Amino acid sequence: MANEEKSVIIEIRAGTGGEEAALFASDLFRMYSKYAASQGWKQRVLDSRPTELGGFKEIIFELRNGDVFSKMKYEGGVHRVQRIPKTEKSGRIHTSTASVAVLPKPRKTEIKIRPEDLRIETFRATGPGGRYRDHRETAVRITHLPTGLVVTSQAERNQLQNKENALSILEAKLLEKKEIEELERIGEERKAQIKKAERAEKIRTYNFPQDRVTDHRIKKSFYGIQTIIAGKLDPIIKSLQKLS
């Protein structure tokens, strides 16, 4: 397939569950970072919105080098966690979610963006709690006027680098939009064959009290949750590859 050797841009967003969902988003980011390191992939954070307790409302990053998309394409969807939060005094198990989107990074010839179609604004980067990180307007917001897509980057302290990061995110989102529109033109039967994952679909549950991770697409559980969260994803991904 054309996308198999592509770099990817991954978005992780906290879902239901408040601060615990943001902490789970941070756990997923660390899991993918460690898995990427074990595969020899390169990683670059493009944007993030951290919370005061060390979580992320949202984090967007790029993975490249090697067979990134062929493995990471299985991670798109809603991830659910069941555990007792550190802030929970009564010992109740909470359920929280985070969504993961895996976007192939377009090659230069796939997406063409005209400068006149962009509105580029700068603003001061913020850290946890909404506090300003510095005195200069280094963060960048780009609006793609024809589609209304808005992307931001404040990962770097350099305005030019943040602009490049934001453009990378925008290109990936435009490619995704283009592919979805193409699927809609193909018709229902062909769409069913392609089985494009819906972002709203719950794909996996991480149950800490029972020390297991269950992938709902293959109806299979994997034990040793701390090892999996530490980046040992190969058993899950290989099981998914066999059935794809």
Could you give phi then psi for residue 200, rounded to 5 degrees?
A: -80, -5
Same domain membership, residue 131 and residue 176? yes
Burial 184-194 (b: 16+ CB within 10 A, else e): eeeeeeeeeee
In a domain, 120, yes or no: yes
- The span from the CA of 119 to the CA of 215, in Å, is 41
- CB 105, CB 232: distance < 8 Å: no
- The number of folded domains in the chain is 2
Amino acid (1-letter code) at residue 219:
K
122 in a structural domain = yes
**Containing structural domain, residue 178:** 115-188
Residue type, 143: T
Q: The whole model's pTM is what?
A: 0.85
3 is a domain residue: no
Does the residue 142 lie in any domain? yes
78 with 143, same domain: the answer is no
Whether residues 200 and 163 share a domain: the answer is no
Per-residue pLDDT of the chain (244 residues; tens, 9 = 90+): 455 567 899 999 999 999 999 999 999 999 999 999 999 999 999 999 999 889 999 999 999 988 899 999 999 999 999 999 877 777 889 999 999 999 998 887 788 899 999 999 999 887 776 666 665 788 999 999 999 999 999 988 889 999 999 999 999 999 988 888 877 776 655 554 444 444 567 999 999 999 999 999 999 999 999 999 999 999 999 999 987 6
- Look at strands 77-83 and 202-207 and give their pairing: parallel
Task: Say whether both 120 and 210 belong to one domain.
Answer: no
93 shares a domain with 208: yes
Q: How far is CA 109 from the centre of its chain?
A: 24
pLDDT (0 to 100) of residue 172: 93
